[in-house]
Amino acid sequence: MLHRLLFLFLPLCVLPVVGWSQQAPPSEKQVVSIDHANELRMLQRGGVQRLIGEVELSQDSIFMYCDSAELVSEVQLYAYDNVTIQQGDSIAAFAEYLDYNAETLLAKLRDQVVLKRGRTELFTERLDYDLATKLATYHTGGRVTNGSTELSSTHGYYYADTRNVYFRDSVVVVDDRFEMRADTLRYDLANERVYFLGPTVIRSDTHRIYCESGYYDVALDEAVFRTNAQYRSGERLAAADSIQYFGKRELYVLQGDAYVAEGDFQRATADRINYFRAEDRYQLAGRATVVDSVQTVSGDSIDYYAVTASYAVSGGRPRVSNPPMILVADRMYSDEETGLSRATGNVVWEDTTAKVKIEAARADYDQNSGYLKASGGRDGRALLTTLLDRDTMFMAADTLLSVRSDEVDTNGDTVRYLSAYPDVRILKNDLQAVADSLGFNTVDSVLTLYRDPVLWQDTSQLTADTIDLYLRNSAPDRVHLRRNALVVTSPDLIFFNQVKGKDIVAHFDSSQLRRTEVKGNAEAIYYAQDDGGAYIGVNKTACSTMILYFAAGAVERIKFLSAPAGRLDPMDAVDHDGLRLDGFRWEEARRPRRFADLFSRLPELQ
């Protein structure tokens, strides 16, 4: 009974000592007030009070609760079991042990520590909390949860007032959408934004991101990754000076030396790349290049769909390279209706192996099949340039068509077919031609002229329904004139040697006409000359087959392979203007002599 009375009386006696109620203003001395305890004991050592059971203490707006405590000189507090610190109406801390100093406002919380503000909770085993600055730190591992996001690290610095947390060493962030590992992070809890302050790796079900600076907005699912920024999704790898991520739009924006690669073949580079993940679409700007298993496309800007390998290119003379094929134009894009790619504006296509170049205003092409259809250009005509017998040959037409075959020739090279139409014109120093259309293939190196063709070589003119020009080692070897064949030569453009037959094969030597083999209804009109070159007469001969030999554009001799019918008439006994074989026409006015003649208007056929 006496013991109980003493216990009840003792707190009243010590009130002035422990600073109960409003005694000892904080301006004079920072002390801890005892608001409640089931039991208080004065220990023998100086100034130590032992509080037991439902302990409640306070200092200004700081309230502390525990199962038991020791208070030393009203300043130093040691609290045990179910410790709670309440600061204002927003911050609360929980632990099993508290070491608190009223003068420094430093609280050391230990064992099962929890610091709460709103829906943010910090968990650790050892936490130092400065109630003056509202800075909480831990160095033995801790984690912070904020809704569905959890962050953990070895070291942590939590500024409760600004709701910023710095994490350092073995930082791990786990969210419903991703997992993040980093060296150092700052988490702005108020704005739900994570800042990367060192090497950081972010993983999700679909991708992996690395950077060394930047931030991630958790609420918006948006981010900026800088300093060695890299992105990987399956076989796709991306890198840039900075990568912006917009989660709701599934958009990645790569800025500065941007690079995207997938597998062994496909890659894209540019100053800036916008990647739309849902569409598998790239928008490249500034020194843009896309490489896939078939081709290399470059230009100022490229809009590229990876699934269909279709694209639109513009600016900076867009370029497609599929060695040995190269295509350059003002603009390139994929035509969804035809499934082909299209180049427009000053188009230049080259086959570097075959040394063939095509210039046009427009070209439809397919790099997979090697298909190319070019049209327009200077005066509405496409131009082909190539080397023939170590000399440049020009060919112009309204349309040029080139197709690569799956075949290979005897040298192991891919076979290519070329067509030109209409109004084909060919210009070479020692050979010129005109026709309605043309065909060429690299299998047998035969160039065929169709519909009213005319072929000129030096002073010789060759016409037929169809003309086949055979090449050997890139030089004219022979010409086959099929149906209504006629060869006309004139050393002086006054008198005309004429050879006619069903078929004529004309043989060349160093691009000079050397002999013609005439088969079927062969006819010849030739002017005989003496050794000094003077005309001695004109001969008109007919037989089934004959061979004519030429020198310097004139008939040197004739070999008849069947009985000929004809005679030699003196020069003054013949009407030379009327001495013409059926089908004779002299098309000198239509003959391309200069480069400009490939594009100018031609006279009508005679």
Closest alpha carbon to 86 in 65, 110, 113: 65
Is the pTM value of this prediction over 0.75? no
Strands 48-59 and 62-72: antiparallel
- Looking at residue 4, its pLDDT comes to 29
The residues near 260 (Cβ < 8 Å, ≥ 6 apart) are 236, 237, 238, 254, 267, 268, 269, 273, 275, 282
DSSP type of residue 589:
G
The kind and range of the H/E element at 432 are strand 431-435
- Looking at residue 27, its pLDDT comes to 44
Buried b or exposed e, range 416-452, using 16+ CB within 10 angstroms: bbbbbbebbbbbbeebbbbbebbbbbbeebebbbbeb
Q: What is the DSSP string of 223-262?
A: EEEEEEEEEEETTEEEEEEEEEEETTTTEEEEEEEEEEEE
- Looking at residue 510, its pLDDT comes to 66
Give the whole-angstrom CA distance, residue 477 versus residue 506.
9
Tell me the backbone φ, ψ of residue 577, rounded to 5 degrees: -65, -30
Per-domain residue ranges for the chain? 1-117, 321-430, 452-596
Measured from the Cβ of residue 196, the count of other Cβ atoms closer than 10 Å reads 29
Give the whole-angstrom CA distance, residue 528 versus residue 516.
17
Homologous superfamily (CATH) for 1-117: Lipopolysaccharide (LPS) transport protein A like domain (2.60.450.10)
- Looking at residue 168, its pLDDT comes to 93
- Looking at residue 82, its pLDDT comes to 96
72 residue type, one letter: V
Q: Look up tokens 């199962």; give the residue.
A: 67
Q: What is the DSSP string of 7-69?
A: HHHHHHHHHHHHT-TT-S-TTT----EEEE-SEEEE-SSTTEEEEEEEEEEEETTEEEEEEEE
Consecutive 10-residue runs of the chain (606 residues): their mean pLDDT? 27 30 47 93 82 94 93 93 89 94 93 89 92 90 87 90 89 87 90 91 89 91 94 89 92 93 83 91 90 82 82 84 86 79 91 88 86 94 89 94 73 78 94 94 86 90 94 83 91 87 86 83 87 86 87 76 81 87 90 94 72
CA separation (Å) from 106 to 98, 133, 223?
A: 10, 10, 37
CATH: 3.30.60, 2.60.450, 3.30.310, 2.60.40. Which one for 452-596? 2.60.450
What six digits make up the tokens of 508? 């060349």
- SS3 assignment, position 437: strand
Q: Look up tokens 């007919």; give the residue.
A: 542
The kind and range of the H/E element at 6 are helix 2-18
Strand pairing partners for 541? Answer: 524, 566
DSSP type of residue 135:
E
- Looking at residue 25, its pLDDT comes to 44
Burial of 212 (0-12, 13-18, 19+ CB in 10 A): middle
Give the whole-angstrom CA distance, residue 64 versus residue 94.
10
Strands 266-276 and 281-291: antiparallel
The CA-CA-CA angle for residues 337, 339, 345, to 5°, reads 85
Please indicate whether the domains covering 321-430 and 452-596 agree at the CATH topology level: yes
Architecture of domain 321-430: Sandwich (2.60)
The kind and range of the H/E element at 488 are strand 475-489
The residues near 325 (Cβ < 8 Å, ≥ 6 apart) are 349, 350, 351, 352, 367, 370
- Looking at residue 412, its pLDDT comes to 64
Tell me the backbone φ, ψ of residue 344, rounded to 5 degrees: -135, 150
